[in-house]
Amino acid sequence: MLQKKIDIVVVIKNSNLVTEIQKQFNPDSYNLNIFFSGKEAYSFLINSNSSNLIVILNNNLPELKGLELARILKKEEKSFSFIFLIDETIDKQIIETIRTESFYFINQTSDFKKELIPLIHEIENQKSKQIEDDALKFEFENYKKRIQDLERDVDFYVKQGDIITKQRTKIQKERDQLAIEKSEIAKQKELMETDLQFIMKQGDKIAEQKHKIKIQHDLVQQQKQKITDSIVYAKRIQSAILPPNRFIQHLLAEHFIFYKPRDIVSGDFYWIKQVDNRICIAAADCTGHGVPGALMSMLGITFLNEIINKDPKIRANEILNELRTHVISSLRQTGKTGESRDGMDIALCIINHDSKTLEFAGANNHLYMIRDGELTEIKADRMPIGIHQRAKEPFTNNEIKLEKDDLIYIFSDGFVDQFGGPDGRKFLATNFKKLLLENHQEHLTDQKQILENTFENWRGEFKQLDDILVIGFKIAFTKSYPKSKDSYDWEGKVILIAEDDEANYMLLERALSKTKATLIRAENGKEAVKIFKSIPGIDVILMDIRMPLMDGIEATQEIKEIDSKIPIIVQTAFTMSSEKEKSFKAGCDDYISKPINLKELLATVSKYIDRE
């Protein structure tokens, strides 16, 4: 069977670049169309009905910009995939817009051609998987309908069996009454034989139907297992974007997180971010639970990171205002009757270790503080993150002067709304406050265990109603946190950068060269270990995770075996939970999330290079 060609449209005004791209595509596998302006490409694409078409373009096009062209076609519900070629001249805001609107992009470096074909194959694989998933769902619904039909048939034949039993009883009575008449006995015998044959046929049909039902039941179980496996894999992805335990321990020495999803994946999530001397902590409860809630939680975490990276000095209530705007915009909420009201409730606080203050803003979720044995409740605003009649009102910013050993608790409503106990009632906020107050002098690890035991004992035989999230932490003021400065002077310091990607290394080099530090590059983990062994006096190592020959995790482990005191800062997106755990287990001291924030990079490096 011949493989269907992939339709490729190239929209680039640079003819030399078009020629280079054209060389990458085999005419036996690809249908290639080339345009040099956005307007003529639009005329072709708007009339195309291809289901697997991929558009390769850059933004700087005559007549109609690349980003505007992609948006118009997307609005026209064209299911094309777009790959933008970007270079150093392109505006960062445009790059951020391309990423936000889920378009693919490749850095237009000398090696970009190596990434192009693999990316096209990845896009095609994703489309194929979506088609397979849709087919599985359609097949699953057909199986359900067939099982329902079979169950009706079984019910019919069971009723037929009852009718037959009654007929046999009647025949037996007539046989007893006519026993003295030989002619009638012969007739009755013949009738009984006929009935017996009918019963046997019905029995065979019932047995056949039972066999069919068993086959269908087995098929349904297989489909159910496939769906469950997909959701379990989604749990791995959701777990990967939550902050790693070692990172939280680094920011909050004494804390606990009681996190208990109702289903495999959760609509509740927690988020922690450090920016200079400020620590942002949030406990959120998205609309629904299970898969819908998990999708909302991933949106929430993405938006929170985007907001704080854009403005590191933003206040707590301003974060919620921005988050609400993002949610309403991304879900296209207008407030019309019958429209989706999806969103989230959230408690968000910012600890400032310089001013020893805590900012709190809440959307329906409150904050509890215990100081000197007394519990104080800081009320949240009675409105959610999402479309609401009060959506134009700003959230309130509450500022609290902190004292050492203050206990802070933020949470979702899953614990207090759980039904249980002897009367099957909700646990309620009053009992929750009492529980926290009675045990606030216990170590926070023990407090978590008390909460878990109390929840299970209260729930008893009742089903868990909602996802559970409770975060508790103690104010210490003993830890030091990296602060960003306008300039750094690291003359005489040596930084080893293990990074195989040329564009990423150039970004790091540009940021660090201003500090006057000596920079040494390793293009893979094996080279990083070799350089560390051969060159003395290295002060800090910036380690990428995914590199050829030897990855960053293995390289970190080998370097730590040579010198356990050398600071290693991992730079990664942490897209898989296994990467996250293995990095800290290997001995890394800190991490910087990709895409890299240059102020955060310099502040984090400063924490280790200036600590003498």
Does residue 597 share a domain with residue 506?
A: yes
What does DSSP say about strands 540-544 and 468-474: parallel, antiparallel, or unpaired?
unpaired
pLDDT at 194: 84
Does residue 281 share a domain with residue 180?
A: no
pLDDT at 478: 56
The answer as to whether 47 is a domain residue is yes
pLDDT digits (tens, 9 = 90+) for 269-288: 999 988 878 899 999 999 87
Does residue 450 share a domain with residue 498?
A: no
What angle is formed at CA 274 by the lines to CA 300 and CA 243, rounded to 5 degrees? 55
Is 129 buried (19+), middle (13-18) or exposed (0-12) by CB count in 10 A?
A: exposed
The answer as to whether 480 is a domain residue is no
Distances (CA, A) of 157 to 108, 213, 321: 70, 14, 63
pLDDT at 497: 94
Does residue 236 share a domain with residue 212?
A: yes
- 3-state SS, 404-470, equals CCCEEEEECCCCCCCEECCCCEECCHHHHHHHHHHCCCCCHHHHHHHHHHHHHHHHCCCCCCCCEEE
The answer as to whether 340 is a domain residue is yes
Does residue 360 share a domain with residue 317?
A: yes
**Boundary of a domain, candidates 209, 241, 273:** 241
The answer to whether 343 and 401 have CB atoms below 8 angstroms apart is no
Does residue 455 share a domain with residue 588?
A: no
pLDDT at 234: 61
Mean pLDDT, range 193-221, rounded to an integer: 82
pLDDT over threshold 80, residue 555: yes
pLDDT at 455: 95
Does residue 519 share a domain with residue 429?
A: no
- Residue 252 banded pLDDT, cuts 50, 70, 90: confident
pLDDT over threshold 80, residue 354: yes
Check which CATH number belongs to the domain holding 599 and give it: 3.40.50.2300
Check which CATH number belongs to the domain holding 400 and give it: 3.60.40.10
pLDDT over threshold 60, residue 588: yes
Tokens read off for 105: 């992009």
Does residue 581 share a domain with residue 434?
A: no
pLDDT at 539: 93
In total, how many domains does the chain have? 4
Element (H, E) at 347: strand 344-352
**Boundary of a domain, candidates 77, 94, 125:** 125
**Boundary of a domain, candidates 241, 275, 292:** 241
The answer as to whether 489 is a domain residue is no
The answer as to whether 248 is a domain residue is no
CA distance 383 to 389: 8
Does residue 265 share a domain with residue 329?
A: yes
Does residue 214 share a domain with residue 306?
A: no
The answer as to whether 105 is a domain residue is yes
Does residue 203 share a domain with residue 103?
A: no
The answer as to whether 112 is a domain residue is yes
Does residue 415 share a domain with residue 275?
A: yes
CA distance 127 to 134: 11
Least confident span in 137-141, 181-185, 232-236, 410-414? 232-236
CA 169 to chain CA centroid, nearest Å: 66
Per the structure, the complete domain to which residue 560 belongs is given by 494-610
